Structure 1
Amino acid sequence: MMILLLIAGCSSQAPSPSTTPNQGEAGTTTPETGGNSINHSNGDNVTPIEEEDPITLKMGKMSIEEKVGQMILAGVDGTELDARATQMIAEQKVGGIILYSNNVSDLQGTVQFVKALKQANAGNPVPLFMSVDQEGGQVSRMPKELLSIPSNASVGKTKSADLAETMGKLLARELLLTGFNVNFAPVLDVNSNPNNPVIGDRSFGSSANQVAELGIAEMKGLRSEGVIPVVKHFPGHGDTSVDSHLDLPVVNKSLDQLKKLEWIPFAAAVQEDVEAVMVAHILFPKLDPDKPASLSEVIIGQHLRGELNYQGVVITDDLSMGAIEKNFELNDVTIDTVKAGSDILLVAHSYDSAKLIFDTLLQSVKDGTISESRIDESVYRILSLKSRYNLVDNQEPTGNVQDLNKDIEAWRKQVNAQ
């Protein structure tokens, strides 16, 4: 049976990072500054009037529970909304949801599931990030009705930024067709280790400059259609010999070595005002001998936020992965990563873990381990990004599956012809 979704809005009109947001934008104001001063003239008298920052105003109406919930992006079970997911959204007030392959059924079912999750969030003051890993190639989560998109390595062989940008647009259109608004892509890891068990063809290649050029092009394609890109996995997962899903990789590179290779694509993304950066669960002993990047104040605070001057949203890789689960306690991890500078804690496979993170953050504020002003910093970034992309939970899926498949097929022919 042919499935057709009618267009409910034009994706070309979606906001991009250069668009002036409706409710404030990260980097424009901060919780501390509060707003911009404007002058109203009355004859010879000029009276400064402070314009309230809408994001700060919104935060002022939120409870600490609602703020803490915004810092959690959680997974769910099954392919339909169940009581546990409903309870998690209502009680932990999570700011986002991630779906994996086992959460995706056919197109109609996936659309309905995403819609139900958004509807379950009606009692909370902020819309959900609805996220997915849709990279193309081996990491593809879309329903079977959509044609597959080749791997980054396939596009990398073409060396074409235009094809990479089109890839980003097609990936975004897939997400918009199913109701998602965040894509954990592009992968900016440089495939410098041929024995890497987890990156491989997920990378655009072994050249840092090529990965930067094509990755940034894909990122621009995603954002041009109104889908939020999340680049990954800072500071670089391309030279590991251990899969962080299974255990903790160790990379014995110096800061100078990282700057000359792994950092290049991420520095380029920061220069292009990337919306969000995912940080990897990798130990870099020469930078921080005790904590992996995702928990490290040295790597997140000093390097990503400090030296690279990144002001956007920082997201951890999944905290239920073996690299973390086998080596650290989740309550300690929760505190460490927030203190390090993370804004969103991704926990994909356990309702209990999402609740533990929520409870730990709440208690840490109550006992002074983490200040509420530190929580406010992250929530301000999160709300600013949601406002920047005009996220709303009642947004209907947009696009036409037949048109999208035709465009994917035409693009694949171009990739294969190079």
Structure 2
Amino acid sequence: MRKLWLALLVLSVGLAGGCGSSGNGDNTGTAAPPPVKTPDAGNAPGETPNQPGNGGNAGHNGSPPPADPGNTGSEPSAPQEPAVPPAPTTAELVARKLQKMTLDEKLGEMIIAGLDGTTASAQAKLMIQEQHIGGFIFYKENVTTPAGVAAYVNQLKAWNADNPAPLLISVDQEGGRVSRLPGLLKIPAGRVIGDTGDVSYASQIGTALGAASKLMGFNVDFAPVLDINSNPKNPVIGDRSYGTTAKRVTDMGLAAMDSIRDQGVVPVVKHFPGHGDTSVDSHLELPVVNKSLAQLRAFEWVPFKAAVKDGVDMVMVAHILFPKIDKNVPASLSKTIITDELRGELGFKGVVITDDMTMGAISENFGLAQAAMTSVKAGSDIILLAHGYEDAKTVLGALKQSVRKGDISEKRIDESVTRILTLKLNYKLSDAAIPSHPDVGGVNAMIKKAVSAH
């Protein structure tokens, strides 16, 4: 499978002319422009490249050269080169891969799971080789030193060799109180950055976040926070937000997002539809926000709408109940919010991921299996599970049973997996090993320079 994925990457190089360095660990710390969709180089879709003529016969559109009066005709003309078919598009590459995948492999792609300990465990191996898990999230308890993280990541990648696609290796690295990566200088919180009013500062910190993530093998960063901190009693967002106005959060958030993406790391904006006006922590219980669609569109959604317009590839949806929009389920389980509003109204085409489904907002009010099935029906592409093997087993079993019963169509699963595979291919993700001893000196120099100037 690894050879097939690498072959597809080679074929797709001509499709991403705007991309710089590869997203794999062999190119650590090298900035890569965000993935862009480009037509086949030099030709419109379906167009056959011009063929060279015979013997340098420029200007004759591939026709044979005029007859030489002295030519007796005894020598045959040189054969023309065969037409070169256009390189396959990203969509074609993804469709080919999807067609070869089993249902178990497809469902596995739709899970990002947590891990145990600071080294790769037997259960992690089972999640990769038996459950075909599409990605993992590292928390504070999983990291020790940069070298320790690299060893952990490299082992996961090695175990994933026979799966259809490379792993999403993710981390919550916002800065401030949500900082997971080891060996780094202190990165300021969003509010500290926002209070300067300096968009270039947000950009510099975004570059450091992306570079640090990539250096240690992470290709997804759950940052930046696009919530507007409009409720001073908010117990979970607070200084993680760039500010209290839509403009401040939009300007700072998009600068950070673009810089993370420029490093070849997938930025994930959060927490749609907006977590800034909550008064309870969704890690513990279900927040309720009594705002209308009109109010959200005019305020909370301003940064998210701008991010969608700027081409954000991944959006995290929050566990918040908006009874004036959907009185039955929180946003992360709501078809109205995910499909009708985020995809329909805002026009988002990328990957939707839930917030952690093991948080109190879900576990205290909904069963894990039912919540996962409802979320997929609503339009989520990836279910985030902070814990590992058993929770993944529960969710995968429920989803598989739903497909077999016809409650969820395989076509619906294919829609999500297509988006996930497209994301991985566009970012040129790879399971190639990263250097075993990441040198954080360059990233720390970036952080020190940015902070000292403010």
TM-score, reference length from structure 2: 0.83
Partner residue of 2:400?
362
Aligned partner (choices 67, 75, 85) of residue 124 of structure 2 = 85
Partner residue of 2:179?
140
Task: Output aligned runs, 1:14-413, within 5 Å.
Answer: 14-18=32-36, 20=38, 37-38=46-47, 53-143=92-182, 145-397=183-435, 400-413=439-452
Contact 1:14 1:389 (8 Å CA) reproduced: no
Cα shift readout 1:145-199 (whole Å, capped 9, x = no counterpart): 2112110111001111111111110001111121111000000000000000000
Whole-angstrom distance in 2 between the partners of 1:293 and 1:101 = 27
Instruction: Give every structure 1 segment of 4 or more consecutive aligned residues whose post-TM-superposition deviation is greater than 2 Å.
Output: 7-15, 17-22, 36-43, 48-52, 397-400
Contact 2:146 2:438 (8 Å CA) reproduced: no
Contact 1:176 1:399 (8 Å CA) reproduced: no
Partner residue of 1:28?
none
Whole-angstrom distance in 1 between the partners of 2:431 and 2:164 = 10
Contact 1:38 1:50 (8 Å CA) reproduced: no
1:39 positional shift = 5.5
* Pair 254,110 (structure 1): closer, same or farther in 2 beyond 3 Å: same
Percent of pairs identical after alignment? 53
* Pair 271,124 (structure 1): closer, same or farther in 2 beyond 3 Å: same
Partner residue of 1:33?
none
Whole-angstrom distance in 2 between the partners of 1:368 and 1:187 = 37
* Pair 8,94 (structure 1): closer, same or farther in 2 beyond 3 Å: closer
Whole-angstrom distance in 1 between the partners of 2:284 and 2:374 = 21
The alignment's C-alpha RMSD in Å is 2.3
> Which amino acid is 2:375 matched to?
T
Secondary structure at the aligned position of 1:277 is classed as: strand
> Which amino acid is 2:440 matched to?
V
Contact 1:12 1:224 (8 Å CA) reproduced: no
Contact 1:168 1:221 (8 Å CA) reproduced: yes
1:62 positional shift = 0.8
Secondary structure at the aligned position of 2:269 is classed as: strand
* Pair 256,65 (structure 1): closer, same or farther in 2 beyond 3 Å: same
Secondary structure at the aligned position of 2:444 is classed as: helix
Aligned length: 394
> Which amino acid is 1:18 matched to?
V
Structure with the larger RCO, 1 or 2 (CA within 8 Å, 6+ apart) = 1
Contact 1:156 1:204 (8 Å CA) reproduced: yes
* Pair 165,263 (structure 1): closer, same or farther in 2 beyond 3 Å: same
